[in-house]
Chain A
Amino acid sequence: MVLDLTMSMAILAFMGALATIAGCLEDLESDVGSQSNPNSQVQLAPQMNFLHRIYNKAISGEPISNGLSAVIGGIVTTVMLNAKFFPLTAIVLGAFVAAIIYGIFATTSYAGRVASQSRFKQPLYMDIMRYTTPSIIAHNFIVCLCLVALAYIQSQILVPAHPFSIPFLALIWGISVGAIGSSVGDVHYGAEREFQNREFGCGLNTALSGRIVRRAESGLRNSIDNVWFCAKYGGPVTGIALGLTVFLSSWPTTVFGYTWIAIGVGVAIVLVMVILNRLLEINVKNAYGPYKEEKNEKEAAA
């Protein structure tokens, strides 16, 4: 199948959309379980006598855990495609198996981490386990579905086809989505949500470590409340980051082919990004100024 420019652009736009959804859901999924960077505060809280009702999902960092689910999805999809399933059915089944295995890993890490904190009297809440784990599985299912679909498009539909196999491409997408989710989205859960009762932008003083917010607008805060908060901004912005990465990195070669013009356009995009980032940085520095040290911090430093 030879693709004309319109069709290539349509597929590219579709890939961008898939990546946006995957990125958004990936960040929200990591917030449901308190994975990655914010996990350290959840882990530390019982030690500071701050017992909580928040899920402690420590399946390694986001790149590795999403790589895990994506590669399982890729393998199962390859097996299904080999057995002459329809591509969409194969991808859905692959993502389903991957998400279930991911959920199993999530339950063992919550149970294991809490059981290893018994001296701080942190209870293991089974209702949290029961209604948070399906949410993790559901989020991960959509992430995995999008990523395996991306891998399928790259290796089976695009012309020229990508030489790598579906599990390989899915793994690379899993690592990428985890890395972007970890770097873009984490701050909206970690610094903003867990320390919501502190002044915005105050930085995390060592004395505050583990002193996370445990009470919600009504009742005790749990991981579903956290994902509700992050879905307003942190998740979508992560999705846009991954979607733009996919779209802008493939757009020049789709429009101009594998030529020097495409490379020039790519360099131009990078330059524009650098300038925009610099302008943003200057703007933020002017608006908020340098970090003001508190008095006791200065004393401690002296």
Chain B
Amino acid sequence: MSEIKETSPNTLMAFGVIGGLLGIYLTYILPLAGNAAGGPVKGLLTTIAPAAGALGGICAIVWGAEAVRRVAKYGLGTGVPSIGQIAMGMGIIAAMFGLSIVGQLTLAGPIVALLTASVIGLIIGWFAQNVIKMKIPVMIRCMTEIAAAGSLVIIGFSAAAAGSFEFGSLITLVFDNGIILGVFWIGAMAMLHPFNACLGPDEKQKRLLYLAFSTGAITMAVTGIAGIMTLGNAGIFTLLVGVVIWLIFYKKFWDEVYKDAASVLGTGLIPKTEA
């Protein structure tokens, strides 16, 4: 497998962290810029700002899916869904802690959440490695990455549904009406499904990453539907962008499937084998 060129974990980590934080902060900066500009630009920028948070969330999902892939490659067949769930579990605790502890310093929230998630992930990874003795060399690093990606996914998609990552508005617009459960559950599925769906001896990173983009886009589309209730037009914009991204990457995923599968048949009998 080594002859296939793969994107390095460090590149993907940079993509997840920078893309995730950039998207999240754009939900804050764009409306400010709109207010400064005024006029029709203001309306436009406020409408597209929440979608930026969801795009950041997709970056984090791609990073998280790759981290799930590296840790689950050590034979965690049925453990893949558990990894996705624990990622969002760690992520949501860190995200809520980070966003609420900063008080008036709203801008520091996502960074504090990211750091908190990394620490929680590090501790859980250390326990898995040294107390439960799972003997997976990449466990500690991957758990840290997964938790950090989980916190960015939660903040990114919550910001897309609420229009900002200020804790007070998240409570009323995302927690009270139950949208956070969608973010949590669909986000977890988006992160764990790429590896779970591509599991097998001939699994390829490229196909998995395309699938991660596509599941992330599904999460974005559902967040957009939820956003129609909380934000109106901005939700519709998020939904449309999500659907377009999904179409692109679903198609790319299928192109890879056609390339990788042993054979793609319209119909037919089972090929003869020794059994």
Chain B min CB distance to A102 (Å):
10
Q: Which residues of A contact B250 (CB under 8 A)?
A: 104, 108
Q: Which of A48, A58, A97, A123 contacts B265 (CB 8 A)?
A: A123
Q: Which residues of B contact A105 (CB under 8 A)?
A: 189, 193, 197, 215, 218
A60 touches B229 (CB 8 A): no
Count of residues in A whose CB is under 8 Å from the partner chain: 57
Assembly CA distance A109 to B194 (angstroms)? 8
In B133-166, the 8 Å CB interface with A consists of none
- With A122-B262, A127-B267 given, is the CB distance from A76 to B81 under 8 Å? no
B196 touches A109 (CB 8 A): yes
B178 touches A164 (CB 8 A): yes
Count of residues in B whose CB is under 8 Å from the partner chain: 57
A108 touches B193 (CB 8 A): yes
Segment touching B, from A5-13, A78-86, A138-146: A78-86
A71 touches B267 (CB 8 A): no
Q: Which residues of A contact B241 (CB under 8 A)?
A: none
B273 touches A49 (CB 8 A): yes
In B172-224, the 8 Å CB interface with A consists of 176-179, 181-182, 185-186, 188-189, 192-193, 196-204, 207, 211, 214-215, 218, 222
Q: Which residues of B contact A104 (CB under 8 A)?
A: 218, 250
B189 touches A127 (CB 8 A): no
A71 touches B181 (CB 8 A): yes
Summed over the interface, the residue pairs from A and B with CB atoms below 8 Å come to a total of 180
Q: Which residues of A contact B269 (CB under 8 A)?
A: 220
Q: Which of B176, B218, B262 contacts A101 (CB 8 A)?
A: B218
A233 at interface by CB-CB < 8 Å = no
B203 touches A125 (CB 8 A): no
Majority SS at the chain B contact face: helix
Q: Which residues of A contact B229 (CB under 8 A)?
A: 78-79, 82-83
A278 at interface by CB-CB < 8 Å = no
B271 at interface by CB-CB < 8 Å = yes
Chain A min CB distance to B214 (Å):
7
Q: Which residues of A contact B179 (CB under 8 A)?
A: 75, 167
Segment touching B, from A111-119, A198-206, A261-269, A292-300: A111-119
Q: Which residues of B contact A126 (CB under 8 A)?
A: 264-267
- With A123-B271, A125-B267 given, is the CB distance from A114 to B178 under 8 Å? no
A108 touches B253 (CB 8 A): yes
- Residue-wise, chain A 39-70 has the 8 Å CB interface mask toward B (1 for contact) of 01001000011111100001111001101100
In B248-273, the 8 Å CB interface with A consists of 250, 253-254, 256-257, 260-271, 273
- Residue-wise, chain B 112-134 has the 8 Å CB interface mask toward A (1 for contact) of 00000000000000000000000
A79 touches B274 (CB 8 A): no
B96 at interface by CB-CB < 8 Å = no
Q: Could you show 23 A-B contacts with beta carbons less than 8 Å apart? A: A40-B77, A43-B199, A51-B271, A58-B199, A61-B78, A74-B178, A75-B178, A108-B211, A109-B197, A111-B254, A111-B257, A112-B211, A112-B257, A115-B200, A115-B202, A123-B271, A124-B261, A124-B262, A124-B263, A124-B265, A125-B268, A165-B178, A168-B181
Q: A: which residues have CB within 8 A of B?
A: 40, 43, 48-53, 58-61, 64-65, 67-68, 71-72, 74-76, 78-79, 82-83, 97, 101, 104-105, 108-109, 111-127, 164-168, 171, 211, 214, 220
